[in-house]
Structure formats: C-alpha cells, structure tokens
Amino acid sequence: MFKKKQQGEKDAALSPGTAAQKKGVKPFLKRNWKRIAAGAAVVAVAAVLFLPKNNAVPTAGSVNYVQTNPQRRDITNVFSDSGTIMAANTYEVRPLVRGTVLTADFEEGDVVQAGDVLYTIDSSDAANSVERAQLSANQAERSYEDAVNAAYVRSDIGGTVVSVKVAPGDVVTAGQEVATVRDDGTVLLTVDFPAADAAAFGPGQAALVTLDGTYETVTGTIRSVSGADTLSEGNMLVRQVTIAVPNAGALTSAQAATASVNGVSALGSAHFAYQKEQTLTAAAGGTVAALCVQPGARVAAGGQVVQLTSDSLTRQLEQAADNLRSAQLSVEDAENTLENYTITAPISGTIIQKNVQAGETAGSDSASGSATPMCIIHDLRYLEMTLNVDELQILSMQVGQDVRITADAVPDKTFEGVVTNVSSNGTTTAGTTTYPVTIRIDDYGELLPGMNATAEIEVESADNALSIPNGAVIRGNYVLITADSPSAAGADPAMTAPEGYVYVKVTTGVSDNDYIEVTSGLTEADTVAYEASAPFDFGYAQPGMTVTVAGG
C-alpha cells in the first residue's frame, strides 16, 4: 500500500459535495485511521467546527488543539507493497512421447543453454515409421511422374522430328502412331573389306568416306568390325566394317558412299543408314491439346512431342498429386515425431529439479500426457516480482522507476530493482480493482525464487517544501490558523472557527506518513492549530502550545 497518496488524490478526497470526494474517502480513511479512531469521542465537536456557518450545529464540550508553525523539510511519497520473488522465466520440460529414457546427462544445479540435449528416449519404432513413410512417398512420386507423362508423347531418342501425324484437336487412341523421330546427327556406312585387311581394323580408327556421284570425301571413324569372315559374290573372304560419319544434315539414307582405311579400299559402296529412328505412339487415348515441336525440329531424348488431354488424364493427375502430397505430409509427421524422442532445453537457465533418470520410462499412456515434468529450468539471468497496485495508486506507477527491495530471508540488505511493466489489465475483486506492476532485479545477490520481499517505490518528492502535519488539513483542504497569523487575511467567512481562529483554504502537494506540502495559502509566519488527537511528530510541535477551546 502507499504510505501516502498523491496530492491529486488528496484533493479529490477532501473536496466537499463532489464525486471526487467519494472516490477519495477510502485512501483518506486508510491514511488517517489512527487519528480517526483516537478522535471518535470528539466527532460531534469536530462536525460543528467543520461545517459552514449556515450548517453549523452548536454543541457543548472542549477540544484540545496543538499549535505549530509551517516549516520547510524534504518530503518523499513512497509506495510500499509485498510480493514473491520469481525467476525471469520458468519452463517445465514434459515428454510428448512415451518410451525408455536412454540418456539424461545433466544434474540439478547445472546451467544449460537453449538447444542443449537433456534427454534421449528410445526411438527405434519411430525411426522405422519414418522409413516406411519415405518408401510410400517415393512410390507416390513415381506414380505422379507416370501421371504427368501419360499426358505427353515423348521421344526416347534425341534427333529430328521427321513427321507428325496428328494436329491439335484430333482424337487419338492408345497405341496410335503420332510422330517419327530420327537420330540423324550421325549416319552409318556399312561396307565390305578384305577379311585379311579388316582383321587389323579396330573401333575408333579413322576412315575416309567418299560420296558416290560427287566424289566428295568426309572423315569418319570405325564403329564396329564383324568378327567372322563371309564369302562375297566374288568368292572373296570379307568382313563388314561399320563407319560412323558426323552429319551436318546433308547426308541422307539415299546417299551412297565407299570408304578406305589406311589405304585399304572397301570392295564396294553402300547407302548411309540412320543410327536410330523411333515411331512414337500414344500411351493413352485423348484429344491432342498441342504439338510441342514442329516437323523438322530437333528434340532431346525424353523431350515432349505431343500433349494430350482428357477427363481421365486430368483425374489421374489430380489423384496422383493428392497421393504424393499426403505421402509427403506423412513423412513430415513421422520426422517430427522422431524429433520428439530427443528432448532439448527450451530456454537457457539452471536446472532446479530433475525428476526422470536414465533407464526410467518417460511419458504417459493417458491422453493428458505426463502429469509430472521431467525437469524444471529457471532462467536466472534476472529475477522479477509482481505487485498488485490499487486503482487509486496505479497512475503513480511508471516504467523506469527505481525500486528498493528487502526480504526477511536476507536481513540487513537492500537490493535495487526497476519497474519494467505497468499493466492496464486490471482485476476486480470485491469492488476493488488492482493492476499488476512488474519489477526486474538484475543484481539479486542472495535472493532466490519463491522468497517473499517488500518493494518500495519513490512516487514523488519535494525538496525544502513548506509543510505542516497531515492532521492539520481537514476536509476541503482547510487549515485552522490563529486569527493573528499573516494568512488570516484570506480566511473563508463561510467556515465557522473557534474564537481566536480562522479557517483558510490551502493548496497541498506531496505528502508522506507525517507531513504534507503546502504550495499556497500559508506562510512560515502563520500559526497552525489542529486537534491534539490527530497524529503528528512531537518533535515538530513547540512546547507549551496546547490550548483548550470550549464550545463551538
């Protein structure tokens, strides 16, 4: 609680006939309960003194007053409350899976870093699940690729598209020929050589090829030599030699040529042959959506030649895509589950409790999981405590305010803290709303989480302030002074005062447990009077200043 409230709250509590008066009653009573209790016997007399003339009720009796002069002093308004010291962050490590703990290489008191391995749990079953999920994903991926390929007619060889037998919009059936692709980048010439000479030839050996008709020569290389001798039409033993000739596009199967190797000439000429040629057929029926290449264009091995479309192909592709994605998610789930068998520190901190050892079983068969944490980690980089501040005092709290902290468990020591958060999320209980205020303690020494501590926050202060005892200020911020005081000239005629006294209106400022600052309405030369039963510092009053006033 506040030792004394701010001036704004005091003004609100002391102003008569306003809503602010009602809001200030509680702190006023809380601050002056001793004076009120001691003065209960003179309530009737005080009421007569405090009421305006037109409302005053005469009464019999006497009231003892103490007289004093306003003096200058330093006043500090301090908020004080108790709370429990807590770690900056606390984390309870709980298992997400069930199994036998294989390793737990840490002990209570050890400092760990976020990501450090705390426990490993037997994960053999989980590893098998990951492998099975991956196999299913591989199968789904191949099925998807097949579904994609089913919509295209592709060439198995690289070469030139010799012909395309369909056009966009045509309907084709499975197995129908749609195009021809020829590998004519290299042409082959197979001719007979004398067997005795050809026996010395080998693959890769250079050959000179002479074209029939033009007698143009090109260079080729021996691709193969037959291994057996055959008898030619001229009854000579010969061997067939196949020569590969690079083709820039001019050589066709209609062109004939002869060849020579190391000066040995072939026994005749032959026509060039293409080394590869493929007739492409549709693997599935459908409508030709597009021609991916035009006749005469070159296509790479595996290249798309014709695209087909149909409802069945579309459904097949969509289903394959869904199956692949489902299989991939299964792999991710299995891998995530596998990761749960290795438990790492979620925060950096100190192990304060270790509940599960290696060899024990972690986890629970119940849906709610394990009731007991495997271990507890405290982040002890700094400590915190939270105060619940009353709604009448919360506006005095600000982030950055210094805090003095003491704890009975650590006697004769004071620790420094700072306000780090003033929450606007209040909690109302029994008609009173409180707001949490968080305090951070960096240099906490011997303080430990769980200790009870008292926090004091300097809310406001005034140096060399003109001050009077708290009990001298009555409702409406009136002060009773002697009629010969300099400030008596500003007396309020509506207030009835005892003989020899007048009431003056003052403006107050900072207050503490004993004194309140007066910012206007009084001077140091004034003589202030207040009830002897009101709490005050006897060292502040002057001897012989007690007077007795009879009646009202």
pLDDT at 296: 87
| pLDDT (average), residues 496-517 | 93
At residue 204 the predicted structure's pLDDT band, cuts being 50, 70 and 90, is very high
Whole-angstrom Cα distance, residue 197 to residue 75?
Answer: 124
pLDDT of residue 476: 78
Region 78-102 average pLDDT: 93
Q: Residue 534: what pLDDT? A: 58
pLDDT score at 513:
85
pLDDT above 50: residue 7? no
Mean of pLDDT values over 222-233 = 90
- The pLDDT value recorded for residue 291 is 94
CB 458 within 8 A of CB 3: no
Query: Contact, 76 vs 461, CB < 8 A?
Result: yes
Greater model confidence, 156 or 50: 156
As given in the structure block, the two tokens for residue 257 are 């040529």
Residue 507's beta-bridge partner residues?
520
pLDDT cut 70: percent of the chain above it: 84
Mean of pLDDT values over 32-54: 39
| pLDDT band of 543, cuts 50, 70, 90 | very low
Q: Report whether 96 contacts 344 (CB < 8 A).
A: no
- The rounded distance, in Å, linking the Cα atoms of 376 and 346 is 11
User: 149 in helix, strand or coil?
Assistant: helix
Angle at 327 between CA 325 and CA 333, to 5 degrees: 105
- The 10 Å Cβ neighbour count of residue 3 is 16
Q: How confident is the model at residue 540 (pLDDT cuts 50, 70, 90)?
A: very low
The pLDDT of 478-492, averaged and rounded, is: 95
Q: Tell me which residue of 433, 454, 451 sits closest to 79, measured CA to CA.
A: 454
Q: Is 265 helix (H, G, I), strand (E, B) or coil?
A: strand
Dist. CA 470–CA 318, nearest whole Å: 85
pLDDT at residue 8, rounded to an integer? 38
Task: Locate all alpha helices (DSSP H) within 72-171, ordered by sequence.
Answer: 124-150
Percent of the chain exceeding pLDDT 90 equals: 72
How big is the CA angle at 150 (ends 329 and 274), to the nearest 5 degrees?
Answer: 130
- The band of 25, judged by pLDDT with boundaries at 50, 70 and 90, is very low
d(CA 155, CA 135): 29
pLDDT surpassing 60 at residue 269: yes
Q: DSSP assignment of 288-312, as one string?
A: EEEESS-TT-EE-TT-EEEEEE-HH
What is the average pLDDT across 345-365?
Answer: 91
Q: pLDDT band at residue 366, thresholds of 50, 70 and 90?
A: low
With the CA atoms of 469, 475, 481 and 487 taken in that order, what torsion angle do they form, in degrees rounded to the nearest 10?
A: 100
Range scoring the smallest mean pLDDT among 7-21, 79-93, 359-373, 485-499? 7-21
* pLDDT over 80 at 23, yes or no: no
Mean pLDDT of 7-21: 36
Residue 365 pLDDT: 61
Q: Both tokens of residue 308?
A: 């087909």
For the ranges 90-94, 246-250, 316-320, 373-377, the lowest mean pLDDT is seen at 246-250
**249: confidence class by pLDDT, cuts 50, 70, 90:** confident
Q: Residue 404: its pLDDT value, please?
A: 96
- For helices 19-31 and 7-14, what crossing angle results, to 10°? 110
d(CA 125, CA 112): 29
pLDDT confidence of residue 11 = 39
User: Long-range contacts made by residues 56-63, C-beta under 8 angstroms, separation at least 24?
Assistant: 56/496, 56/552, 58/551, 58/552, 59/551, 59/552, 60/551, 61/550, 61/551, 62/548, 62/549, 62/550, 62/551, 63/498, 63/531, 63/548, 63/549
Assess contact for 164 and 294: CB atoms under 8 A.
yes
Residue pair 343/92 in contact (Cβ under 8 Å)? The answer is no
Which amino acid appears at position 193 of this protein? F
14 in helix, strand or coil? helix
Q: At what angle do helices 311-339 and 124-150 cross, to 10 degrees?
A: 160
Q: What is the pLDDT of residues 300-349, one digit of tens each?
A: 999 999 999 999 999 999 999 999 999 999 999 999 999 999 999 999 99
Query: Is the alpha carbon torsion for 98, 103, 105, 108 positive or negative?
Result: positive
pLDDT at 1: 36
The pLDDT of 361-365, averaged and rounded, is 80
Q: With contact defined as beta carbons under 8 Å apart, do 285 and 174 qualify? A: yes
In the structure, what pLDDT confidence band is assigned to residue 19 with cuts at 50, 70 and 90?
very low
* 545 confidence band (pLDDT: 50, 70, 90): very low
Average pLDDT over residues 496-524: 94
Residue pair 69/524 in contact (Cβ under 8 Å)? The answer is yes
Q: CB count, 10 Å around CB of 64?
A: 12
Q: What's residue 433's pLDDT?
A: 95
Write the CB contacts of 45 (distance below 8 Å, at least 6 apart in sequence): 59, 61, 62, 63, 552
User: Strand 432-441 vs strand 99-103: parallel, antiparallel, or unpaired?
Assistant: unpaired
Is 50 a residue whose pLDDT tops 50?
no
- Tokens 């062109």, residue? 255
pLDDT tens figures, 415-434: 999 999 999 999 999 999 99
Taking the whole predicted model, whether its pTM rises above 0.85 is answered as no
User: Is 60 exceeded by the pLDDT of residue 529?
Assistant: yes
Amino acid 318: pLDDT:
95
35 or 275: which carries more pLDDT confidence? 275
Q: Which residues, listed in sequence order, are joined to residue 62 by a DSSP beta bridge?
A: 550
Q: Is 493 left (phi over 0), alpha (psi -120 to 50) or beta?
A: alpha
Q: Are strands 270-271 and 507-511 parallel, antiparallel or unpaired?
A: unpaired
